[in-house]
Structure 1
């Protein structure tokens, strides 16, 4: 399985966001060093793909109240062996929202984050190397709450901070405003 497409995306992301260099270099080092980087069975951590889904008017974002982590987040999940991380983000967006089709609003990676996932049920604490893409639904914006969520909600970008103080979520809000000119 080829890691080069993701490495190319990470290089392009570094050119756009040089201030995030330390995180990007950790990503690159992990992808290059870990043959199982796309497999959830890799005990130290693995690649995940996420979708920051914006409303057609650009003002809102679809967030999930994650069942296992009990907090508001963007939609996303494990690559499960798929090195096409943007396809993973699209698949997770479809599965977790019930919406059928999305377009990528900006080419390439929208955001990156490396965060710990707590140990549970025989699974040790590990890291998620989360690659995030900016998507917009094509067609209906009516969503269905999946079994992975307590709730889904369209949230005005100005109100995200009332649901979370998590740094990467607030960073995506800032990028959302920048990219969409809000």
Structure 2
């Protein structure tokens, strides 16, 4: 199975809990139906990305990265690669690379969708159709900041950093 097929099957099976997420699911499926290259970062119209809400083993803290280009605290994640065979594998790969942790476990289904305008590695304005999964770190696993981050740290779910209010819905979905 190729990545495009996996993304379509993943989103067809997923049943989001809100009308807004259901509307986004349909928009993502429409985009995927129209664009065979929707999972490739070279798709200038926009492309599927894979994110991970990394929770600690107690599920009381979330790991956030201070994104160097965006200048904000965000969940881990990024572009799908040609070697990714599934959307969940892409999210897990991104979480492992950006957290420096091994032994992460990922949810079988997404928990949240988001589409946002961005100028990414293409150097031109595009959109990220971001599919988000829950990832849980092993007990006591220390994160190691990668070159893709200005900072990386655990935040209590009840005390997220200033300027991260737009993560509230995502983190709530991850904790359900």
- After TM superposition, the score normalised by the length of structure 1 is 0.87
The question of whether the paired residues in 1 share the 8 Å contact of 2:118 and 2:125 is answered with yes
CA distance, structure 1, for counterparts of residue 50 and residue 120 of structure 2: 20
Say if 2:116 is the partner of 1:115: yes
Q: Following TM superposition, by how much is the alpha carbon of 1:125 offset from its aligned partner in structure 2, in angstroms?
A: 0.4
What pairs with 1:58-77 in structure 2 (closer than 5 Å)? 58-77=59-78
C-alpha change, 1:27 and 1:138, in structure 2 (3 Å) is: same
The question of whether the paired residues in 2 share the 8 Å contact of 1:68 and 1:148 is answered with no
Q: Following TM superposition, by how much is the alpha carbon of 1:3 offset from its aligned partner in structure 2, in angstroms?
A: 2.6
Runs of 4+ more than 4 Å apart:
none
Count of residue pairs the alignment pairs up: 173
What pairs with 1:53-92 in structure 2 (closer than 5 Å)? 53-81=54-82, 82-92=84-94
C-alpha change, 1:94 and 1:2, in structure 2 (3 Å) is: closer
C-alpha change, 1:139 and 1:109, in structure 2 (3 Å) is: same
Q: Which residue pairs with 1:173 in the alignment?
A: 171
C-alpha change, 1:161 and 1:150, in structure 2 (3 Å) is: closer
C-alpha change, 1:145 and 1:34, in structure 2 (3 Å) is: same
Q: Secondary structure at the match of 1:129?
A: strand
Q: Following TM superposition, by how much is the alpha carbon of 1:137 offset from its aligned partner in structure 2, in angstroms?
A: 1.4
Q: Following TM superposition, by how much is the alpha carbon of 1:29 offset from its aligned partner in structure 2, in angstroms?
A: 0.7
Q: Secondary structure at the match of 1:27?
A: helix
Q: Which residue pairs with 2:104 in the alignment?
A: 102
Structure with a larger share of its residues in helix: 1
Q: Following TM superposition, by how much is the alpha carbon of 1:6 offset from its aligned partner in structure 2, in angstroms?
A: 1.7
* Structure 2, gaps ≥5 residues long: none
Larger CA deviation: 129-138 vs 57-66: 129-138
C-alpha change, 1:91 and 1:170, in structure 2 (3 Å) is: same
The question of whether the paired residues in 1 share the 8 Å contact of 2:88 and 2:108 is answered with no
* Structure 1, gaps ≥5 residues long: none
- After TM superposition, the score normalised by the length of structure 2 is 0.89
Q: Following TM superposition, by how much is the alpha carbon of 1:140 offset from its aligned partner in structure 2, in angstroms?
A: 4.3
CA distance, structure 1, for counterparts of residue 70 and residue 39 of structure 2: 21
CA distance, structure 2, for counterparts of residue 161 and residue 8 of structure 1: 35
Q: Following TM superposition, by how much is the alpha carbon of 1:174 offset from its aligned partner in structure 2, in angstroms?
A: 1.8
Q: Secondary structure at the match of 1:107?
A: coil
Q: Following TM superposition, by how much is the alpha carbon of 1:5 offset from its aligned partner in structure 2, in angstroms?
A: 2.4
The question of whether the paired residues in 2 share the 8 Å contact of 1:38 and 1:83 is answered with no
